[in-house]
Amino acid sequence: MTTTNPIASQRRDDEIDPPRYPMPRGCPLDPPADLARLRASAPISRVALWDGSTPWLITRYEDVRAVLADRRFSSDTEKAGYPPTSAAQLVRRRSTRSFIAMDDPEHARYRRMLISEFTVRHIAGLRPMVERVTHELLEAMAARATPADLVDAFALPLPSMVICQLLGVPYADHDFFQEHSRSLLDITTEPDEALRRNEELRGYLVELVARREAEPTDDLLGRLTERRVRTRELTRDEAASMGLLLLIAGHETTANMIGLGTLTLLRHQEQAVRMRDGEPAVVNAAVEELLRLLTVTHIGRRRVATEDVQIGGMTIRAGEGVIAANESANRDPAEFVHPDELDFDRETNHHVAFGFGVHQCLGQPLARLELQVAYPALLRRFPRLRVAVPAEELQFRNNMVVYGVHALPVAW
């Protein structure tokens, strides 16, 4: 009797006609249903990207972590076979190379320069500032007429103000960098437009670094300039590229987690009350659960194999692209009991919303702090908060690298 390896069979089938990735959603607060189907029947399978390439999609939690922990899978976007997000992203990353698109030792060299700025202890010292900004924004929001857009009034300005204060970027310029960030994270942006936006934003950061060379400041860009640029360990352009990464990632991800997380809480009123009134341990667990459930970085962690690697019984060949679907891994029933439920009482919640391995998100302590402050404060200030429009009128960020809701009209 001959047994058939289902993964091997799926490999042949998907090479003939692979599904398109990213996949369309049904419920906007859940990952695409096709991911669950693949995770159950063909956990490692080909998908088709915008450029016609067919990298491997990894959907199981165990396999996703294995890929992200294995240094034989490269993050270098310049390597042949790396699966690009879009034409715009391809052009942008060739223009300005971020250290998250590098491998060790190059990646580790740059990351070490920033680690002290994002330790749990250092970030904890920012809590009074985060609480003050949160309070001021909520009071300003209370003075508005209802309905008000939660994204515009609170979700976006909170992390923008915090990352500006941390970096030393003038918040008065927020319209400029937020507009440019949105364009750069939109997978439908034309390459020429992405290149223009990227160069303008990079030039803006280069100018800020140059000012700090003339007049030192006690902020992240100032310290980076004093300790690394003046000593010629970094060029001005390299320091600006690091600042650019932190500026975009530092406000886009958290802003969308605040908006999408609030929408989720308003649909789960019992859990919203627990978030509002809970002790710190409850709030912390609740934030982790929202991070797991929503996974706003929803287009996978992308890699390319540098040699043949066995993952989940499948051989990924050198030069083949891989997408580790953390949005699928975080809903894997083999790791999370009832993974589609919002459960603040999970005993273990080792989600991969921030990635895994050496490229795990550097700024996660800051994101956690902002969310732990933002959700309870919002719900305490507006205990009758509610969505002010029918669900079908909400527009979601399906074409963006970071998922979320474009606007969230609320009343109280």
Above 50 in pLDDT, residue 13?
no
Please compute, for residue 104, the number of CA atoms within 13 A of its CA located in the half-sphere on the CB side.
11
d(CA 307, CA 315): 10
A 10 A CB-CB count for 16 gives 7
Mean pLDDT of 165-171: 96
Please compute, for residue 152, the number of CA atoms within 13 A of its CA located in the half-sphere on the CB side.
10
d(CA 287, CA 254): 12
d(CA 301, CA 100): 11
pLDDT value of position 4: 34
pLDDT tens string 82-114 = 999 999 888 877 777 889 999 999 999 999 999
Mean pLDDT of 166-189: 95
Which residue is listed with tokens 């740059």?
A: 110
Q: Please, are residues 321 and 82 in contact by the beta-carbon 8 Å criterion?
A: yes
Closest CA to 257 of 373, 347, 165, 146: 373
d(CA 163, CA 248): 9
More reliable by pLDDT, 5 or 291: 291
Closest CA to 357 of 68, 112, 105: 68
pLDDT tens string 46-57 = 999 999 999 999
d(CA 143, CA 137): 10
Cis peptide before 280 (omega within 30 of 0): no
Above 60 in pLDDT, residue 223?
yes
Above 50 in pLDDT, residue 238?
yes
pLDDT value of position 89: 81
Counting other chains too, the contacts that 93-102 makes at CB distance below 8 Å and 24 or more residues apart are 95/195, 95/198, 95/199, 95/202, 96/198, 96/202, 96/241, 96/244, 97/241, 98/241, 98/242, 98/244, 98/245, 99/241, 99/242, 99/245, 100/75, 100/245, 100/359, 101/75, 101/76, 101/77, 102/75, 102/76
Q: Please, are residues 255 and 155 in contact by the beta-carbon 8 Å criterion?
A: yes
Return the amino acid letter for 11: R
pLDDT tens string 308-361 = 999 999 999 999 999 999 999 999 999 999 999 999 999 899 999 999 999 999
DSSP 231-254: TTSS-HHHHHHHHHHHHHHHHHHH
d(CA 69, CA 88): 28
All domains of the chain in start order, with CATH? 6-411 (1.10.630.10)
Backbone angles phi, psi at 385, to 5 degrees: -60, 140
Mean pLDDT, the chain, whole residue set: 94
Pairing of strands 44-46, 73-74: unpaired
